[in-house]
Amino acid sequence: MELRSDRRGLLSRVWHTIGNVGVPPLRAGEHRTVVATNQFAALASLGAVPYIVYFLANLPEMRQPAVTTLVLVGWWGVTILLNARKQYLVASVIAIFAFELQLANLAHWFTTESGFHYLLFAGGMLTFMLFRTREWSVRGTFIIVSVVIFLYCEAQWPPSSRHHEFGSYAVTVLLVTNVLATVLLLYVVARFDMHYYERERRRNAELLDAAQVAAQTDALTDVYNRRGIAPVLSAVVRRGDYALALVDLDRFKLINDRLGHGAGDVVLSNAARTLVKSVGDDGVVARWGGEEFLVVIPGRSLEDADAIMERARADMEAEYGAPDSIARVTISVGLAHAQRFTGKEETLRLADANLYEAKSSGRNLVVSGRLAAVDRD
């Protein structure tokens, strides 16, 4: 069981390596077409092996198709080398041109009753794998060529006298094999396209998620910004009693003046990290502006909220508040507690007033208060 798993891993790595020959460093569209060309060349070469064996087993009658099929496999090897040399368009053109040319040759050699020309349906679909969207003219040309060859095979080519030399049973075997090969190739094309569709869908979803996170997150402190905290705040107001705390770094301007704005950014980032750690699961932290933070505390009493913010104040002082530090950091906190449905604007005004009182009372304090009125929106 373990050996089988290792074998699958090895085959998967080989397949991935072949598909990515010449890929880095490509844009998304080029990546798709190069991988498609490489993997088509490898898969088609493997698919040609049974035909080659059959043709070689029936020499000398089938010398011509044996030779041309071997040459075709060689051409597909050339396409991988061309991709390695970054000749992407040339590689794709050669891959599909050689494929369609050989189908026309085999359909003529074994007659249309052998079904080789049915593979031209897959040849038309392959253009959507092997060429980028902007190469629509090349796609269209090969689709038209596929249709023309197919119609010409159906309408113009008479049965070859060679058909009778190797028997109708052999033609029937070829017909069944080619029909199955056509269905398989169409399935592979569909799976390939679905794979890249899902891949692009996931990538777009990840980019959208990243963009949304970036739009709601403060780049410096890695906490919510005003846009990010707004829906949280609105939900908390509707859910029940809540508290809002405005936190301001004391004498932050002195740090910027003495050490520069770069050091000030480091202080802000560290202070935000400590504040988030101290508040923990009891609240949500956002950068409100400058050196000011907003902490939203849902479902707690005034006393509980006051204890949470006092803990944060003490943690900040313990970590950064040494009196001899050149970048000493303490915080002043204005805390406002409100009942459910109390307007957040009014609660923020009380928190701001309490913050002002904490500043004017000597800083490094938590000043709290309660809003008794309920303002139902």
Residues carrying an active site annotation: 291
Would you give the DSSP letter of residue 217?
B
Residues in the chain: 377
Query: What is the DSSP code (8-state) at residue 159?
Result: P
Cβ–Cβ < 8 Å for 306, 368: yes
- State how beta strands 292-298 and 242-249 pair: antiparallel
Please name the helix (run of DSSP H) or strand (run of DSSP E) that holds residue 298, with its range, or none.
strand 292-298
Nearest alpha carbon to residue 64 among 162, 158, 176, 177: 162
Q: How far is CA 345 from the centre of its chain?
A: 40
**Other Cβ atoms closer than 10 A to 49:** 11
Other beta carbons within 10 Å of 324: 5
Give the span between the Cα atoms of 118 and 120, in whole angstroms.
Answer: 5
Three-state SS at 368: strand
Pairing of strands 366-370, 331-338: parallel
CA distance 144 to 132: 17
